Structure 1
Amino acid sequence: MKLYYSPGACSLSPQIVLQESGLAYEPVLASTKTHQLADGTDYYGINPLGYVPLLELDNGARLREGPAIVQYIADQVPEKNLAPANGSFERYKLQEWLNFIGTEIHKGFGPLFKPTTPENYKPIALEALTKRLQWVDQQLAGKSYLMGEQFSVADAYLYTVSRWAGFVGLDLSGLANILAFQQRMAQRPAVQAALKIEGQK
């Protein structure tokens, strides 16, 4: 397998999950700025959408969306309990979290990263994002991870996007449960290995 990634992007989430899975894979740097691989290959020829992550299987099949990728990885190693069993109610709760993180948090950061976003809109985007994160903070009360005491692929996604707060001036100091969650995640060997691959801290 190959995972196409760009440092600091949402591809850190499947990078973490692959490390948790123990599956063999090749991380391939695909810059979201130049849209080229290290050897000069045009990344648009691999993913016409131009973004990461993209998982390429050994047979050439490709998956493009992070929430789909992490569930696919989890299902290859069911003994690792990275996701509840398909068809179970808990699996749908996991998908609920993946969808919420993707649409309400991940996409909420979008306007704050775009240089074309009008300055007067950024406070509105920050306020909306803060409200969503406050709700997540409440959901983490008394729990180690989103689904309880068991790490799941949703945690890799939340950790990845919540790290972006520092880059856009979003203050997490009042969100004690999210901060504790981030510290807990940062102590996981798989997270440390994924960050090392991407040259991040």
Structure 2
Amino acid sequence: MPESPVFHTRTALAEGLRELFKQLEARLSLRSPVNVYLAGGMAVHLYTSERVTTDVDAEFGARVFIPNDLIVDVTLEDGTRGAVHFDTNYNSTFALMHEDYTDDAIPLDMGTEHIRLYVLSPLDLAVSKIARFADNDKDDIAALVRLGLTNADEIEQRAICALAGYVGGQVMLKLNLRDAVVLAREVESERIASGQQLQTHH
């Protein structure tokens, strides 16, 4: 059974994300609630605290205008500087998404009044990485599995269900899925082995 996620909300990137949403809310002068679904590397960062990205992949439940100049400068823990901003080209239809991904997203209070932030579940986040499956996507899947937030069987089952609604060619996608499941199983094996080593040392 996957472990319950704990969000890392006190990192420099998470603080930058919080400020970005607060500024967006002020700029939009929102008067009614808007659901926002966070995906991509920033969502992975909230779960793992490892992933470093300044792009924010967010899907809005209502039509909103994202100002191009909405940027929050941050200084990361290692001293490097970055600029947290919305990726205005983000489109969830290009990712592999299960039809229930919004229902299963996890709410996260970022201190905004009208913006209701939901973070894609670790499982759906892993599945969303399969369509592109670049090196950072592989790293993200591995990190989520390593923390016990999802596993190979879950990813495989969820992705197969999601294939029915995928817009685009499925040949490459199925190859990526196969490789993603192999990767997840390898990480699971390493996790089990390291856990057993810890037990033998006690």
One fold, TM greater than 0.5? no
Identify the structure with the greater helix proportion: 1
Instruction: Please report the TM-score for the alignment, with normalisation by the length of structure 2.
Output: 0.28
Instruction: Please report the TM-score for the alignment, with normalisation by the length of structure 1.
Output: 0.28
Identify the structure with the greater strand proportion: 2
